[in-house]
Structure 1
Amino acid sequence: MFKRLRLKKGVKVVMAALVLVSVIGFTENKQSGDTCKDIVIRIDNQYDNYFISESDVLSLMTAAGAHVVKGASFRDLNLKEIEERVKSDRFIKKAEIYKDLKGNMLVNIDLRRPFARIVQSNGPDAYIATDGAILPVSDKFSARVVLITGKYAGQLVKNDLMATDEGKKIYGMLRFINNDKFWKAQIAQIDIDKKLNMTLYPQVTKQYVEFGQPYDLEEKFKKLTIFYKQILPKKGWNTYERVNLMYEGQIIAE
């Protein structure tokens, strides 16, 4: 009887010790999870656009050091507010911020990718992103993209392209070129006048292309393909100075 009582008492002591260890471990884990131990920034940059670095993201998160994030309690941190500060940079398309079980703050960033650059004679340059957003130029990095010039260029910097009917037409033209490897490599500059008539300037050959307004894109580029692949090889690459695609069913070369 005495041994049985001692055995039960020993079991109770062991159970109490296990409970105490569990409580201590839970408390430590809870405390570590309540505090931002570290900030892990992941930038999805598959196109090698180096406009935004990890230090830039950290500066946005802390409002250039005005707010403490690392070491602060998650109870005092508004993750949505921090996300909005990060997304205030036009080069950042998407930002997701959350904490893991170890008490780290995870920051996932998707960048916008420029595919055209607006060049102005009486104002600052700007980029056009693949989603139509207008982005500022940067001292850190310069993207090699098609140049947009002409009297209409100044209108393009006022709104994102998808905000206006004219912008949507220009966006469609840029997207068509960007999605075709040949035209993306061939076209260096697009000059746009006030009526949205476009003149294309190639990378290699000397002739310019009077494209007209950005409609019937497939038909016009089909004619331009015939000019480059069938006419120029026979007549000579520098024979013509001007190509006109504005008339239906015709290619005018002079």
Structure 2
Amino acid sequence: MKIKFNLKREVKIIAAVIVVGGIIAFTERRQSTASIKDITIKMVNLNENHFLDENDIINLMQLNRENLKGASMDRVNLKEVEKKIKSEPFIKDAQLYSDLKGNLVVKAELRRPIARLVRNDGPDGYIAEDGTVMPVSDKFTARVVLISGAYVNQLLKQNNANDTEDGQHLIALINMIRENEFWNAQIAQMDIDSKARITLFPQVGDERIEFGKPENAEIKFKKLMIFYKEILPRMGWNKYNRVNLEYEGQIVAE
């Protein structure tokens, strides 16, 4: 097999790579010595999620905004500042870079809460989409399902609900509720005992729904839908105080 080698073309490619590399290196050197005009804050996932504002991000950076103006970019240890910002539980990710206008840009992605952990003997908390357990905020209250009961104390001791198998099942259950328009509107609260057994409390109706462990959730919700569609219309919404979904192939209502 013959291999054709075009020396002239290869030289051009190498030269182009060297030129581009030189431009990048020159640009990086120029940016590192450029003066900072201002700090620009870009917050991602802000809709219905106002736990932090721009001033909070500035405070997390531990940098004096006014003193930085006109200072050289190489005065800022971007990796160290990113680390400080990421240490905030409400923040999922953070990136720092300089733009073409000479601004130091901070892009911070906020965590979105999916459930609120409530208790009587201490401060509440939130569970985020990625399972991170977060504190509450004085600035904002998220409209999410409430979680109460002895299991809450276990969750608040963890950094992430996904650290345990029961926690992973719980996250899957919460997401199943959130993604279904009817259940998202109907399920107001989940009370969970120390063994991770769940009791649901609805927005409409007085019944206590004994869900059990957060396993086989899809089958249990199908049974609960049968209860709502076929039993309650005939018997009345205030007929039952207790509904149990734990037994296979059965709906126990009292």
* TM, length-normalised to structure 1: 0.83
Measured at CA, do residues 86 and 67 of structure 1 come closer, stay the same or move farther in structure 2, by a change above 3 Å? farther
Residue number in structure 2 paired with 1:158: 157
Deviation at 1:237, TM superposition (A): 1.2
Structure 1: runs of 5 or more not aligned: 1-29
Deviations 1:110-166 (A, max 9, x none): 110111111122221110011100000011111111111111110011111111222
Residue number in structure 2 paired with 1:26: none
* Cα distance in 1 between the residues matched to 2:103 and 2:183: 46
Deviation at 1:229, TM superposition (A): 1.7
Asked if the contact 1:33–1:102 (Cα under 8 Å) also holds between the matched residues in 2, the reply is no
Asked if the contact 1:33–1:103 (Cα under 8 Å) also holds between the matched residues in 2, the reply is no
* Cα distance in 2 between the residues matched to 1:164 and 1:92: 22
Does the residue aligned with 2:107 lie in a helix, a strand or coil? strand
Asked if the contact 1:98–1:105 (Cα under 8 Å) also holds between the matched residues in 2, the reply is yes
Asked if the contact 1:62–1:68 (Cα under 8 Å) also holds between the matched residues in 2, the reply is no
Structure 2: runs of 5 or more not aligned: 1-29
The one-letter code sitting in structure 2 at the alignment partner of 1:179 is: E
Does the residue aligned with 1:224 lie in a helix, a strand or coil? helix
Residue number in structure 2 paired with 1:13: none
Residue number in structure 2 paired with 1:129: 128
Residue number in structure 1 paired with 2:251: 251
The one-letter code sitting in structure 2 at the alignment partner of 1:230 is: E
* Cα distance in 1 between the residues matched to 2:171 and 2:70: 45
Residue number in structure 2 paired with 1:241: 241
* Cα distance in 2 between the residues matched to 1:212 and 1:233: 25
* Cα distance in 2 between the residues matched to 1:47 and 1:228: 33
* Cα distance in 2 between the residues matched to 1:132 and 1:238: 36
Deviation at 1:177, TM superposition (A): 1.2
The one-letter code sitting in structure 2 at the alignment partner of 1:48 is: E
Residue number in structure 2 paired with 1:176: 176
Deviations 1:36-91 (A, max 9, x none): 1111111123532110101111111125x499543321111111111111111111
* Cα distance in 1 between the residues matched to 2:47 and 2:238: 34
The one-letter code sitting in structure 1 at the alignment partner of 2:139 is: K
Does the residue aligned with 2:56 lie in a helix, a strand or coil? helix
**1:227 has 2:227 as partner:** yes
Measured at CA, do residues 38 and 94 of structure 1 come closer, stay the same or move farther in structure 2, by a change above 3 Å? same
* Cα distance in 1 between the residues matched to 2:69 and 2:209: 56
Does the residue aligned with 1:80 lie in a helix, a strand or coil? helix
* Cα distance in 2 between the residues matched to 1:90 and 1:196: 25
Deviation at 1:207, TM superposition (A): 0.6
Q: Which moved more, 1:163-172 or 1:185-194?
A: 163-172
Deviation at 1:101, TM superposition (A): 2.2
* TM, length-normalised to structure 2: 0.83
Residue number in structure 2 paired with 1:108: 107
Asked if the contact 2:50–2:139 (Cα under 8 Å) also holds between the matched residues in 1, the reply is yes
